[in-house]
Structure 1
Amino acid sequence: MTEMVEELLKPQEEEWLCNSNEAITIWFFEPSTDPDQEFDSVKVSPKFTYSIFGDKEQIYGYKNLEIMLKFSSGSFATYFDVRYSDKIPDVSSTSIADNVVDKIKELIPSDYITNFDIFLQTVSEDAYNFKPMGEKITEYCLEEEEDIIYEIYRATFDTPRFKEYHKRFQIMVLFYIEAGTYIDEDEKWETMLLFEKKRIGDKHIYSFVGFCTMYNYYFYNLEKSINTENCPAVIDQVNNKIPVSECINEGKVIPEDIRLRISQFLIFPHVQGKGHGSKLYQTIYKYVLSNLRIKELSVEIPNDSFEAIRDKNDLLYLREQKAFEGLVAPVDKKIIDSIRRKYKFNKRQLLRCLEIELLRKLNKTDAAAYKAYRLQVKERLYNWNKEVLKDIDRAERIEKLKETFEALVGEYQEILLKYN
């Protein structure tokens, strides 16, 4: 009987459910370059909302629900409003509508705007008053866009105005980066900010295009001669206990070496597909090469779209530098390590690029050469998956490595079709 009642209630419950990705709309507003209209706006939808509304990405208790977040394209001043045609009555504890207002309010700064006219006024004022914060690193132009300059700035949480600005744009991490979370206002974070700069009339206005957050980790260099008795912090660092700022060795201060790790990398959806991701990544990499303290660039957990940007730019740069010139499998580990240190790659990415380039130059009709390549790649795959593979029998291990190798070569061949 209970099951029958639940089945009867099911259709009624479903009419109060909606998809949270569809319910949320995100808008970017700026003054228009068209003299016949005051503002230009672009509407997009979030890619992810599960961190706000649960794994099923559903909101309960409303009909025709629309959650609007509108941003001034430069200052990121925020307009927030919730609308719906009907809301389920709170007749019992099991039928209470989700509190969407409070869920969003927890994620945006308290200075959000609820009056749309005031928001538009803010868009107008901010457009001509807002200027990027931080240290300008570089600028570039795109061939197809006239009179538009893109500028990249570096900021930390000590940079004036950045803390407040970060609070405004950080919600985009939840919407567009899978498993993305807010970061702490730690002094070791730094952020690259990408802005569009264009002229309207006799003035320039800035629009926020994207960003990358990076964390400075201590890089323990085994090649440095450090007397650990005089610097016990080094021992703790090796054991992953504490970060090291400086150590004393024979009366000299040894500056901290850094592993810079990319954490969040995002170009906003309405400006994707123009090459901004590559430009931002290239700027970060040049910054790494120019900074003597940074010994390695790594990435937290690269998703497919970022890995594509990274592979493309790393491969083209290493080719330009002739980093793998004359190498054939098997490549000596000392040579690999020397190249890795010179170009400040982490080991996984350097080996990935090396394997792609070796495959590109490989004569597949040469059985001995192909075997040498296969064994080098399989050795790397085994070492990286040793903990899993060691517990299975030899025949199955061989088969697993064969399958993984073939899948990887297929992936590499697809990359080479794009960037051969």
Structure 2
Amino acid sequence: MTEMVEELLKPQEEEWLCNSNEALTIWFFEPSTDPDQEFDSAQVYPMFTYSIFGDKEQIYGYKNLEITLKFSSGSFATYFDVRYSDKIPDVSSTSIADNVIDKVKTLIPNDYITNFDTFLQTVNENAYSFKPMGEKITEYRLEEGKDIIYEIYRATFNTPRFKEYHKRFQILVLFYIEAGTYIEEDEKWETMLLFERKRIGDKYIYSLVGFCTMYNYYFYNREECVNNIIDRTNNKVPVSERVNEGKVIPEDIRLRISQFLIFPHVQGKGHGSKLYQTIYKYVLSNSRIKELAVEIPNDSFEVIRDKNDLLYLREQKAFEGLAAPVDKKTIDSLRRKYKLNKRQLLRCLEIELLRKLNKSDAAAYKAYRLQVKERLYNWNKEILKDIDRDERIEKLEETFKSLVEEYQDILLKYN
């Protein structure tokens, strides 16, 4: 009898359910360069909302639910609104509607705006007073002759105005970065901010179009640690503890990219590559930074990373004259020089070796295959060691063939 009642209730329950990705819309507003209209706006939808509304990305208790977040493109002043045509009556503890407002309120600054006219007024006022914060690193144009410039700034949580600003745009991490979470306001975080600057009349306005958060980890160098032990026996000071003018020199660091996002309405124009190139150049120019790493890169970021690392290393002739097998000493030297972590350096090396490989040369192809398989085995040793020899050989061969296909696809794009 209970099962029959539950079956009868199901259709009624479903009419109060909605997909949270579809119910929520995000807008970016800024003054228009078109004299015939006051504002330009771009509407987008989130890719993910599970961190707010649960793994099923469903909201219960409403009909025709509309959740709206609108941002001033520069200052990120926030408008928040929730509307619906009907809400389920709270007749029992099992039919209470989800508290949509509270779920979103906890993730945005307290000074959000609920009146749309007030929001538009704020957009207009903020547009001409807002300026980027932090240290300007570089600028670029996508099209010569156009009066639109893109500027990249570096900021930390100690940078004036940045802590408050970060609270405004960080919600986009939840919407567009899978498994993305808010970061703590730790002084070891630094952020690259990408702004668009364009002229309206005789003034300039700035719009945030992307950002990258990076964390400074201690760079553990096994070779240096051994030397430090020897130095201690000779009463010398280890590198990480040297003193200059009464100040301890900061330890060497591994800079790890954590969150990398170009906003959806400006994607596909090359901004991702420009931002990554700026970060990599910053790493190469900073003597403290010994390695650039990435925290669990997704597929779209891997494309940006592979493309730009390959083109830069090719431009530098980093792999000139190399053929498999490449010895460990050479690999370590390249890794230190170009400050890429070992996996990425080897990935780029393998792609370039494949590009120059004469596949009709059986000995050369065997040497390449063995080098790649050795790397694959070392990377997956814990999994493979428990598999019998014949299956291990088969698995490595399958993985090798799949990887070569992936490399060939990359080479078709960037040969």
Normalised to the residue count of structure 1, the TM-score between the two structures is 0.94
Are the counterparts in 1 of residues 293 and 340 from structure 2 also a CA contact under 8 Å?
yes
Q: Which residue of 2 aligns with 1:361?
A: 356
Q: Which residue of 1 aligns with 2:382?
A: 387
Tell me if the contact between 2:292 and 2:340 (Cα under 8 Å) persists in the aligned partners: yes
SS of 2:296's equivalent in the other structure is coil
Give distance in 1, aligned partners of 2:79 and 2:232.
56
Q: In the alignment, does 2:295 pair up with 1:300?
A: yes
Match of 2:241 in 1: 247
What residue number does 1:329 align with?
Answer: 324
Q: Which residue of 1 aligns with 2:251?
A: 256
Q: Secondary structure at the match of 2:92?
A: coil
Match of 2:28 in 1: 28
Q: 1:248 to 1:285 in 2, by over 3 A?
A: closer
Cα displacement (A) at 1:247: 2.2
Do the aligned residues in 2 keep the contact of 1:245 with 1:255 (CA within 8 Å)? no
Instruction: Answer yes or no: is the 8 Å Cα contact 2:240–2:252 preserved in 1.
Output: no
* Paired position in structure 1 for 2:311: 316
Task: Give the 3-state SS of the residue equivalent to 2:122 in structure 1.
Answer: helix
1:30-50 CA-partner distances (Å, limit 9, x unpaired): 001111111111100000001
Paired residue type of 1:6: E
Letter in 2 for 1:378: K
Q: Output the CA distance in 2 between the equivalents of 1:322 and 1:393.
A: 41
Residue 226 of structure 1 deviates from its aligned partner by: 1.5
CA distance in 1, matches of 2:261, 2:248: 38
- One-letter identity of the residue aligned with 1:348: R
Give the one of 214, 226, 229 matched to 2:228.
226
The Cα shift of 1:255 comes to 3.8
**Does structure 1 conserve the Cα–Cα contact (< 8 Å) formed by 2:228 and 2:239?**
no
Match for 2:241: what amino acid? C
Q: Deviations over 1:97-154 (max 9, x none)?
A: 0000000001001010111111000000000000000000000001277110000000
State the one-letter code of the partner of 1:332.
D
Separation in structure 2 between the aligned mates of residue 30 and residue 156 of structure 1, nearest angstrom: 26
Quote how far apart the aligned CAs of 1:334 are: 0.5
Distance 1:415 1:79, change over 3 A: same
Q: Is there any run of 5+ residues in structure 1 with no aligned partner, and where?
A: 232-243
| Shift of residue 222, structure 1, vs aligned partner | 2.7
Deviation at 1:74, TM superposition (A): 0.3
Question: What corresponds to 2:285 in structure 1?
Answer: 290
- Is the counterpart of residue 117 in structure 1 residue 108 in structure 2? no
Q: CA deviation at 1:230?
A: 6.0
Matched, 1:154 2:154: yes
Contact 1:382 1:389 in 2 (8 A): yes
- 1:415 paired residue number: 410
What does residue 126 of structure 1 align with?
A: 126
Question: Which amino acid is the alignment partner of residue 129 of structure 1?
Answer: S
Change (3 A) 1:38 1:253: closer
Q: In the alignment, what sits opposite 1:352?
A: 347
Amino acid across the alignment from 1:271: V
Secondary structure in structure 2 of the residue aligned to 1:223? helix
Cα gap change, 1:86 to 1:245, in 2 (>3 Å): farther
Most deviating of 216-225 and 50-59? 216-225
1:279 aligns with 2:274: yes
Structure-2 separation of matches of 1:220 and 1:378: 27
C-alpha contact (below 8 Å) 1:230/1:248 kept by paired residues: no
- CA shift, 1:221, in A, is 2.1
Pair 333,227 (structure 1): closer, same or farther in 2 beyond 3 Å = closer
| Equivalent residues in 2 for 1:125-204, closer than 5 Å | 125-143=125-143, 146-204=146-204
Cα distance change on mapping 1:228 and 1:183 into 2, 3 Å: farther
| Correspondence for 2:84 | 84
Distance 2:262 2:239 in 1: 33
What is aligned with 1:69? 69
Tell whether the 8 Å contact from 2:60 to 2:97 is kept in structure 1 after alignment.
Answer: yes
Alpha-carbon distance change, 163 to 381 in structure 1, aligned in 2, over 3 angstroms:
same
Deviation per residue, 1:199-250 (Å, 9 max, x gap): 000000000000000000011223333248969xxxxxxxxxxxx995259x
The 1:252–1:177 alpha-carbon spacing in structure 2 relative to 1, beyond 3 Å, is closer
> Where does 1:260-271 land on structure 2 (aligned, <5 Å)?
260-271=255-266
Does the residue aligned with 1:316 lie in a helix, a strand or coil? helix
In structure 2, distance between residues paired with 1:297 and 1:4: 59
TM score, norm. by length of structure 2 = 0.96
Deviation readout 1:280-334 (Å, 9 max, x if unpaired)? 0000000000000000000011000000000000000000000000100000110
CA contact (8 A) 1:157 1:190 kept: yes
C-alpha distance in structure 1 between counterparts of 2:132 and 2:367, whole Å: 52
**Cα distance, 1:215–1:252 mapped onto 2, change above 3 Å:** closer
1:226 partner amino acid: N
Q: Secondary structure at the match of 1:226?
A: helix
- For 1:238, the equivalent position in structure 2 comes to none
Residues 355-375 of structure 1: CA distance to partner in whole angstroms, max 9, x if unpaired? 000000111111111110000
RMSD: 1.8
Distance in 1 between the 2:68 and 2:396 partners? 49
Which residue type is aligned with residue 380 of structure 1? R
Q: Segments of 4+ in structure 1 off by > 3 A?
A: 227-231, 251-255
Q: CA 1:245–1:213 in 2, change beyond 3 Å: closer, same or farther? A: farther
In structure 2, the CA distance between the partners of 1:254 and 1:204, relative to structure 1 (3 Å rule), is closer
